[in-house]
Amino acid sequence: MTDRSTTGEARRVLVGISGGIAAYKVCSVISSLAKAGVAVRVVLTQQGQAFIPSLTVATLSRHPAYTDEMFWQATQGRPLHIELGEWAKLLVIAPLSANTLGKLAHGLADNLLTNTVLASTCPVLLAPAMNTDMWQQRSVQRNWRQLLQDDRYHAIDPGRGVLACDRVGTGRMAEPDDILTHIHSLLHSGGKRDLAGQHILISTGSTREHLDPVRFIGNPASGKMGIALAQAALHRGAAVTLVHGPLDNSLKARLGGIQAVGVTTAEDMHRAMLTHLPQADWVVMAAAVADVKPATQATTKLAKADLPELLPLAPVPDIVADLAQRRSPHQRLIGFAAQTGDIVPPALDKLQRKGLDAIVANPIDVAGSGFGGDRNQAVLLTKLGDKLVMPPCTKLSLAHQLWDALLKAKF
């Protein structure tokens, strides 16, 4: 999920751990960040120390943990909360307890963590965790809404499931992978919400055109690139609709906060994209859509002996061309072209032939990019002739680079 190529001053994360059993999940976040070369420091509240020893997070972060005892006992040098607040490029509070939430909502500071928040200006990522009844209290929800009115604060809402108290309900802290993804988004964007007020419509994954209930024409597209584009846009303030082909459960788990529309065939995707087109400001056609389908589809599995020696084929809808014809003047349409060999000429041809504003060409015959992996590389081409080469990186990093470029592009 991380990209070691993004190094330097921007990669300094301060993790604050308040009281809650979900604190054990944060160990995975700290370890992953440190292994990726991110500078990590950890502040433990007194309640957080009841769940996670300072030695544990110090070992995982490769740096001594900061505690309230260190804060109150400091007698020399600059105040610790000032030093930490100026050092951090991103502050993450996970788990965020009801107690710490209430303090932040009202600008209170009675420990090292809350003092550091007030002494900093960087973005703050909040991952609440608490019992369902606690989370649903009017006072807690009022504090939550009030805090999020401040643009500094970014939220990962708690999920639903079995809690440590054996209650089934909302209150589970977000999973480490979700927190890590949001962290890397904020490290890239600096917390800016430059897509706020925009509705983004994205297609991703492959489509399947069945010969019978078992066999189909398809391709290896996993949907990871489109999901990364959706996550990056969401983290930058957009409302996102993602029309996706079949996804495995691990990828479906990444869709929190995104309006997800599952489809199977090219015709299904065509209908879904047209349905959601009127609300979109940006349309990104990242799906790898089948070019043809079997002319007939059997309702039961065909025996091997009954398979045709020559398979009659029929066309499927040209989704991106239809979107280009039906879109409004203010809507921007971005295509994708997965290619082998010299990827630019066929992408340019598709850009012009389909009436796109821009196209993203990416190689599928180069190690470490293309279908299925977590990394990719691309060339962005616009209808006005601009060309931007994006070297190998994580798909999330590539997604942010694409949004950076598209928001600056002239169409």
- The arithmetic mean of pLDDT across residues 328-350, rounded, is 96
**Mean pLDDT score, 241-250:** 96
Predicted local distance difference test score (pLDDT) of residue 71: 86
Distance between CA atoms of residues 195 and 236, nearest Å: 5
* pLDDT score, position 27: 97
Note the pLDDT of residue 8. 47
Tokens (6 digits) for 95: 């788990």
- Asked whether 219 and 371 are in contact (CB, 8 A), the reply is yes
CB atoms within 10 A of CB 162: 10
pLDDT category of residue 75 using cuts at 50, 70 and 90:
low
Report pLDDT digits (tens) over 260-277. Answer: 999 999 999 999 999 999
Among 72, 152, 58, 64, CA closest to 112:
72
Full set of structural domains in the chain with CATH: 12-189 (3.40.50.1950), 199-408 (3.40.50.10300)
Please report the beta strands in 306-386, taking only residues with DSSP state E, as ranges in sequence order.
Answer: 313-315, 332-339, 358-363, 375-382
What's the pTM?
0.93
Q: Which range is least confidently modeled, 8-17, 81-90, 98-107?
A: 8-17
> Residue 1's pLDDT band (boundaries 50, 70, 90)?
very low
Instruction: Give the DSSP letter string of 64-102.
Output: PPEEHHHHHH--SSS-HHHHHHHH-SEEEEEEE-HHHHH
The answer, yes or no, to whether residue 39 has pLDDT greater than 60, is: yes
Residue 411, pLDDT score: 87
Q: Among the options 27, 122, 165, 393, which is catalytic?
A: 165
- Cis before residue 95, ω within 30 degrees of 0? yes
- pLDDT at residue 351 in the model: 97
Lowest mean pLDDT: which of 6-15, 200-209, 261-270, 276-285? 6-15
| Mean per-residue pLDDT over the chain, rounded | 94
Active site annotation includes 165? yes
pLDDT digits (tens, 9 = 90+) for 112-169: 999 999 999 999 999 999 999 999 999 999 999 999 999 999 999 999 888 888 888 8
The residues facing 168 across adjacent strands are 162
pLDDT surpasses 80 at 205: yes
**Alpha helices (H) along 223-380:** 224-235, 249-252, 266-276, 319-326, 344-354
Q: In the chain, what percentage of residues exceed pLDDT 90?
A: 91
CA dist., res. 208 & res. 203, Å (int)? 14
